[in-house]
Amino acid sequence: MSDSKNQTSAHENTEKPAAPAGRRDFLKGVATASAAGVAMVQQAQAAAPAAAAVLSPADAKAEASGRLIPRPGSDFMVDVIKSLNVEYVAANPGSSFRSLHESVVNYGGNKSPEFITCLHEESSVAIAHGYAKAAGKPMAVMAHGSVGFQHAAMAVYNAWCDRVPVIMFGGNGIDADKRRPGTEWSHSVQDPALLLRDYVKWDDAPGSLQHFAESTVRAYRVATTGQMGPVVIMADIDLQEDAIHGKTPTIPKLRPTLPLQGDTGSLQEAAKLLLNAKNPVIMADRAARNQDGVKALIKLAESLQAPVIDLGGRMNFPNTHHLCLSDMKRALVRDADVILMLEVYDPWGQVNGLSDPFKTVRPEAKPDVKIITIGMNDVSIRSNYQDFQRFLSVEMAIPGEAQASMPVLTDYILKNATAAQKTSFEARREVMKKRWDKQLQDAKEGAALGWDASPISTARLAMETFEVIKNEPWCLAVSDRIAWARKLWPTTQYHQMLGGSGGQGVGYGLPASVGAALANKSLGRMTVTFQPDGDLLYAPGALWTAAHHKIPLLMVMHNNGGYYQEVMHLQRMASMHNRRTDQAWIGNSLRNPDIDFAKIAQGMGVWAEGPIKDPSQLKGALQRALAEVKQGRPALLDVVCQAR
């Protein structure tokens, strides 16, 4: 990427080439140029604090010559971003936002936002994705408007499917008369956000700095309201680099929006159905947004003594509570007469199943079950991408945020429950307590199987890790990889389990964990993640980002030597085709040669140890890794696990 600050367009460059210079003339020229460069830097630094002041005659002359831009538009863009209290901006550097980059680090002092250096745009967005879930607020991303967006697309789709806010700024050169020849043409786009438009909530390409200010504030509000999601604001190269003339544009104030509560009358009707149900069941997926949401769901469940199936899109309900019966989902759904679904990603899939690879539907719920949905799934639906899942006919579909709607529903239940109903609820509580005890015992017995096996079982990996971190304020950054953690780690706080990628895109785990750890660093939390081997290989550069920015993160490798889910798919297909199942590893194996993940991490500046195959060595290695993390550094432990 070439420096264009002092470079004129091809049609403006009419000077003849200089004659070859001798050594003395060359050295004299270098000294003169260096002195001039120092003077320009000093002049620019002196001008930056007074960006809003009227230009002096000398500055005006320098600006007219193209040698100095004391009030670039990108400085104002940084002011806009600062007004939103955005703490970080993740980016792989690109020439299309060079002026905005420079303004962040110099004019903005590299603070709020602080520049997080990334080695791939997909990692930039995934870091912002993980950060938002841990911090409860978005961070920013900067990317090239063409190739950068192409790299970032998978991570943007993950954030869209996971309903997570990410504020993206894309650089682009829209004016063909001002583009430099070569790369700047192939990296410029007529409609940069077109590539992402099917899976962002909103995008805009401002034509002025005032437009930029208003659209950026609007984008933040859109991203964080209702069904959250990523947004894109384009930052034109000329808008960034041209000087601000006259009065500085104004920045509108961001006002918080009220949560979108479901219709009160509809919630009352839903409460009546639940009160009269013999076997009500509550399902929660992305219902809670913070600990207040967890508390609201506890109160709702206890008002009915109804079992809760936490599907894991977020941490919605404590697994230590006697009503948390997630592992008994099939039996609960089969017996239910009313099911309340709270922000459930796939309602159809929760009451229907596929009995075999031929896609034969196996209904798991009664034909007359009454289903109530509360959520925003129908609000942000798109026509192209099919993340909205198969259509399910329901008794009541109530649009609104589940967390905002639960208190109204609970209050109506508590105020209208009859004495007889309250007695039946108490009887139900005793039944649920017994079921919870059995669920826990079954999980413990299952985890004990193969405890001393080598390669190491995922159950032992999970429980040895917890034994080492249990006295820390822990957060499992990616909580859908190893089920034993969700089953057996006592989980009571929202931040302890942050869910998965949303769109199931490989390459999310490592950078998202780095983003979560970045947020947790200032919140006093210790971040741990189970890191799949194939996922790390998509974006290993995030290891360097963690080391460079001193982000404390405990990465425990789930190294099973391949893409095991695909191995199982091939085995099933081979069986159906009456062919060899032992060939399923071809194209899916990450062995021969084995990958040394500890060396990869060490090469990126991360403390690492492994590969560990003997389970008796696991605890000591985990303790050493934790000691590094508690010193404020990332650490990786390569653990060779069973192929599952």
Instruction: Give the pLDDT confidence of 102-123 residue by residue, as tens digits.
Output: 999 999 999 999 999 999 999 9
Between CA 100 and CA 171 the distance in angstroms is 9
Full set of structural domains in the chain with CATH: 73-241 (3.40.50.970), 264-444 (3.40.50.1220), 449-639 (3.40.50.970)
Between CA 336 and CA 340 the distance in angstroms is 10
H-helix segments, 316-401: 329-335, 347-351
pLDDT at residue 26 greater than cutoff 80: no
Give the model's pLDDT for residue 284. Answer: 98
Q: What is the band of 58 on the pLDDT scale with cuts at 50, 70, 90?
A: low
519 vs 588, residue with greater confidence: 519
Half-sphere exposure for 194 (CA within 13 Å, toward CB): 7
Between CA 180 and CA 46 the distance in angstroms is 29
pLDDT at residue 22 greater than cutoff 80: no
Task: Please give the share of the chain, as a percent, with pLDDT higher than 90.
Answer: 73
Q: Are 279 and 309 in contact (CB under 8 A)?
A: no
642 vs 608, residue with greater confidence: 608
H-helix segments, 48-202: 57-64, 73-83, 98-102, 121-135, 147-161, 183-186
For 64-81, what is the mean pLDDT? 88
pTM (predicted TM-score): 0.88
Q: Locate 154 and state its tokens.
A: 């998978």
Task: Please give the share of the chain, as a percent, with pLDDT higher than 70.
Answer: 88
Instruction: Give the pLDDT confidence of 239-250 residue by residue, as tens digits.
Output: 999 999 889 999
Alpha-carbon dihedral 587, 588, 592, 595, rounded to 10 degrees? 130
Q: Are 369 and 348 in contact (CB under 8 A)?
A: no
Alpha-carbon dihedral 469, 471, 476, 480, rounded to 10 degrees? 80
Residue listed under structure tokens 């050594």: 23
Burial class of residue 167 in the structure, from the number of CB atoms within 10 Å of its CB (0-12 exposed, 13-18 middle, 19+ buried):
buried
Q: Are 34 and 59 in contact (CB under 8 A)?
A: no
Give the model's pLDDT for residue 356. Answer: 59
Residue listed under structure tokens 């004019």: 107
C-alpha to C-alpha distances, 37 to 30, 33, 43, 241, 516, nearest whole angstrom: 10, 6, 10, 19, 41
pLDDT at residue 15 greater than cutoff 60: no
Q: What is the band of 47 on the pLDDT scale with cuts at 50, 70, 90?
A: very low
pLDDT, mean over the chain: 89
Give the model's pLDDT for residue 63. Answer: 59
For 178-187, what is the mean pLDDT? 76
Partners of 609 in the β-ladder? 637
Instruction: Give the pLDDT confidence of 523-562 residue by residue, as tens digits.
Output: 999 999 999 999 999 999 999 999 999 999 999 999 998 8
Q: Are strands 352-354 and 361-363 parallel, antiparallel or unpaired?
A: antiparallel
